[in-house]
Structure 1
């Protein structure tokens, strides 16, 4: 079959219906039709876009929104799916707006293969991480709102109520309010204020428990996908989860570490013109991923000697604190990309405690020698914290000669 018989499809997705259009590789319009956003509708749409000739690819709008179900179905039947970006506003104004017009525009973009990206598969463990993380984010937001509301009610509460809780820290305040009881002698306003505060505090505790459950689930899910990433200094389960979500279940769709940095909004954007040559801050990309990189950078600046030395060199070179953070986030994005695309082998710490006990050393001896807390050594030996750099340092110290250990 000659090349001219090949076709490309475009789909304009909505909540209840999808509009599909088919064009030839020369841009000729072949046909368009509307289908329901149901399993039977997906099958009918697939038959429609494949009955006009060999299908090169399908361009779908919103593969992680209204087009998620259709994208999964198309991939299951072997149809290559790309996500098409919304055309420029000026172009949309020139051509008008309708579902059919948008579907043909999606097909044209898929044919050109310029403003397209490989869609996430959204059918693996990372998708489970995404939905868990979304629920966690909602719980955290609700938790913050409840605490704010409690403190706002206390500001305007009757003086007997306000005086009782005025100087308490947040944790103690929530605990006392949740366990509070009605007071004899309160008027109606004071009594109802106490009831409202108790219910809000009870909700706050429930949200605490929900957040803890989400954190446990995220740790377990991340450990299934990439346990080695949790051993990297500064990367917690929540930040690892967000970066895995950004990469998706198919991280091979990201061509390079520079592309991943751009996806995270951590790559500088060229802004040169004429005789001016410069770069500007990238304010695009996945802002949640950018925030995760920022958290990792802040942790390492506070606890990692190598990162502190790197920041000191940049400071000596005249870089501002913001510039240093940008450089750190770019470097961390490079590291995370390789951790995601080439998951490291997890290093276990089961041998540390027997080795320490065989040498007759206590946790205090080790903590003094390595300059850290006893709790950190205990957690490392039990595997509750994963810092592969410190783990290797500890193991190397244990395998040194007993004379050197005692001298240390």
Structure 2
């Protein structure tokens, strides 16, 4: 632990900075004119957080504390500081050029965080804990998908080098058919055949278990997301995984994102000038939260394939000479604006609970209703169950059922 002697005057304004790690945090204090006052190291425990806050308060009136990793290693200290009524701001780690110039150590990073809080360079409020459950379910569901993909790849690689009789029997099967066939195996034959078949059976069963696990987690995630923000979940093209990612990116307190432009920049969807000479254009941003950017991309693809308004827009932009990449950039920026509105305001969701009972009371089948509107029966089914939101179709459908 390193420290400096605190000033005898405890009524001065000071700023704190925290460099967080798994087992320790390093806390630095500076005066309101940037002078270094003291720094010390504390454990990432309840007692350690209390000691760190006492250390900060001993040097004066704490105006703000800059913390690196408020949603990761610094989450515990952030909760303790905010519970004590202190103002915490989120600090990005220094860029590489600055680190090469001044070096790196825990005290250096802690003082840099304090200076960021003093200068106002760090001004974003940290995310609160209301989406912690969504974040946990989202991470678990994604890890299940990654593990399932890795297992499927292992099966493919084993079949490539498997004995000819095994490769001929299972190599041509695809998807669920292959997994089901391998899971039902009864390994037999010589030592090589038995070993290969045993491995394939084990991997196939693992795929089935991971698939069931992912489906269970997705159902739980869907329930949490819908309860947290029904307007976001009901937006066209927004599934449980996409909604969860946007909620995690924005945090449980999205009001900390002051404008929709700041949210677009956070998602890497803000247009970046790419002009030169007589060329005047913009390009896709390569910064921001890339997982949130991917979520906007998925929404754009869904709407380009099945949303009539989006398809008409794409046709107009294509006729105007824009490339597909440029059109997607425009769509992602517009979608970011819509998602920001869903995240920061209460969006009223029209009721659809009456549609299925009304159809059944008229003895109208899904197929008949779908044929009338020129859509697939699945479209009407998902509309009735609230899985797909289409307000225009819902209103027209209700009017038709009422008049039938």
Band the TM-score falls in, shorter-chain normalisation: over 0.9
1:85 and 1:116 in contact (8 A); partners too: no
The alignment's TM-score, normalised by the length of structure 2, stands at 0.92
2:264 and 2:336 in contact (8 A); partners too: yes
Deviations 1:354-381 (A, max 9, x none): 4334555433332112111223323332
Q: Distance in 1 between matches of 2:164 and 2:218?
A: 39
Aligned position for 1:34: 41
Unaligned segments of structure 2, at least 5 residues: 1-8
Aligned position for 1:65: 72
1:151-230 equivalence runs, <5 A? 151-183=156-188, 186-230=189-233
1:4 and 1:25 in contact (8 A); partners too: no
Change (3 A) 1:281 1:101: same
1:242 to 229, 235, 245: 245
1:128-139 equivalence runs, <5 A? 128-139=133-144
Matched, 1:86 2:104: no
- TM-fit CA distance, 1:89: 2.7
Change (3 A) 1:353 1:93: closer
SS of aligned partner of 1:118: coil
Aligned position for 2:398: 395
Change (3 A) 1:167 1:89: closer
Q: Distance in 2 between matches of 1:277 and 1:377?
A: 45
Q: Distance in 2 between matches of 1:62 and 1:375?
A: 44
Q: Distance in 2 between matches of 1:191 and 1:170?
A: 23
Matched, 1:381 2:384: yes
Aligned position for 1:231: 234
2:10 and 2:59 in contact (8 A); partners too: no
1:345-360 equivalence runs, <5 A? 345-359=348-362
Aligned position for 1:15: 22
Q: Distance in 2 between matches of 1:385 and 1:97?
A: 51
The alignment's TM-score, normalised by the length of structure 1, stands at 0.91
Q: Distance in 2 between matches of 1:161 and 1:263?
A: 50
- TM-fit CA distance, 1:100: 1.6
SS of aligned partner of 1:345: coil
Q: Distance in 2 between matches of 1:72 and 1:200?
A: 42
Deviations 1:169-218 (A, max 9, x none): 121110011111023xx221111000000001011111001101110111
Number of residue pairs matched by the alignment? 396
1:112 to 95, 116, 119: 119
Unaligned segments of structure 1, at least 5 residues: 403-408
Q: Which moved more, 1:386-395 or 1:111-120?
A: 386-395
CA RMSD of aligned residues (A): 2.1
Matched, 1:6 2:7: no
Q: Distance in 2 between matches of 1:396 and 1:285?
A: 44
- TM-fit CA distance, 1:278: 4.6
Change (3 A) 1:172 1:358: closer
Change (3 A) 1:195 1:394: same
Q: Distance in 2 between matches of 1:23 and 1:288?
A: 36
Q: Distance in 2 between matches of 1:106 and 1:10?
A: 5
- TM-fit CA distance, 1:29: 1.8
Change (3 A) 1:357 1:62: closer
2:65 and 2:89 in contact (8 A); partners too: yes
